[in-house]
């Protein structure tokens, strides 16, 4: 894998973490594009592991993801700078937006912009899901991936199981139903 400089890594976390809207999933999808596809500082398996562990970590998933990705790429300094680059600027923006929301809630144009941003965030979350599902599909594990994906949707949306429970059952299903290349 190509080596990463700490300033470049910090800049990527800063740029992606503060210019991607919609929460952790779209941000992690954008980071996948930067760190895996474009720069190859992580491979798809490392990304999947980091993403999965971040999802079951209590607290903010994105911070856990940035800490783990930064750690794998550049050690302690990468972990600390990754988390700081993602959190500090966006926290300041949230404070300013919160102060301005009272004024904006009566403005039709501002509310239309917020609605458009919400629609784009949902699209980016769908992109994130697709990017996570794509590697198993490429390895010929289509049925296995789609069954576990579909079951996870049903457990989440219909049965209202917690994310930790869904991920735990999916891990058990993955262990029980090994892919042909894993047997």
- CA 57, 124, 83, 43 torsion: positive or negative? positive
Instruction: With a cut of 80, say whether residue 139 has pLDDT above it.
Output: no
| pLDDT (tens digit per residue) in 6-51 | 999 999 999 999 888 777 888 998 999 999 999 999 999 999 999 9
pLDDT at 60: 87
- Which of 78-92, 97-111, 120-134, 162-176 ranks highest by mean pLDDT? 78-92
3-state secondary structure of 1: coil
| pLDDT (tens digit per residue) in 100-115 | 877 788 888 988 988 8
| Higher pLDDT pick, 175 / 11 | 11
pLDDT at 180: 60
Task: Spell out the residues 6+ positions from residue 87 whose beta carbon is closer than 8 angstroms to its own.
Answer: 17, 63
DSSP string, 107-145: -HHHHHHHHHHHHHHHHHHHHHHHHHHHHHHHTT-HHHH
pLDDT at 183: 54
* C-alpha span between 13 and 35 (Å, rounded): 10
Task: Spell out the residues 6+ positions from residue 148 whose beta carbon is closer than 8 angstroms to its own.
Answer: 170, 173, 174, 177
* C-alpha span between 55 and 65 (Å, rounded): 8
| Domain-wise residue ranges, the chain | 6-138, 140-183
* Mean predicted confidence (pLDDT) in 53-78: 93
């Amino acid at each position: 894998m190509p080596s990463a400089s700490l300033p470049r890594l910090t800049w990527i976390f800063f740029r992606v973490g503060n210019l991607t809207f919609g929460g952790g999933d779209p941000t992690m999808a954008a980071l996948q594009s930067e760190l895996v596809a474009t720069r190859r500082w992580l491979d798809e398996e490392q990304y999947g592991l980091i993403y999965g562990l971040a999802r079951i970590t209590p607290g903010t998933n994105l911070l856990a993801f940035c800490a783990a990705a930064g750690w794998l790429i550049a050690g302690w300094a990468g972990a600390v700078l990754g988390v700081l680059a993602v959190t500090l600027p966006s926290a300041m923006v949230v404070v300013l937006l919160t102060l301005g929301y009272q004024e904006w809630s009566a403005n039709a144009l501002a509310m239309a912009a917020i609605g458009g941003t919400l629609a784009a965030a949902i699209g980016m979350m769908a992109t994130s899901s697709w990017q996570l599902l794509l590697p198993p599909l490429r390895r010929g594990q289509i049925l296995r991936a789609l069954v576990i994906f579909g079951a996870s949707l049903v457990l989440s949306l219909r049965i209202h199981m917690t994310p930790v429970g869904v991920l735990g059952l999916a891990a058990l299903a993955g262990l029980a139903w090994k892919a042909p290349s894993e047997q």
